[in-house]
Structure 1
Amino acid sequence: MYAWIWRHLPGPVWTRTIVAVLTLAIVVLALFEWVFPAVSALLPFQDQTVTDG
Structure 2
Amino acid sequence: MYRWIWRHLPGPLAAKLVLATVLVLGLVALLMFVVFPWAEPRLPFDQVSVN
TM-score by length of 2: 0.91
> Size of the alignment, in residue pairs?
51
Give the structure with the higher percent helix.
2
Are residues 1:12 and 2:12 paired? Answer: yes
Runs of 4+ in 1 over 3 A off after TM superposition: none
Q: Taking CA–CA contacts closer than 8 Å with sequence separation of 6 or more, which of the two structures ends up with the larger relative contact order?
A: 2
Tell me the equivalent position of 1:50: 50
Percent identical across equivalent pairs?
Answer: 41
Tell me the equivalent position of 1:29: 29
Gaps of 5+ in 1: none
Larger Rg: 1
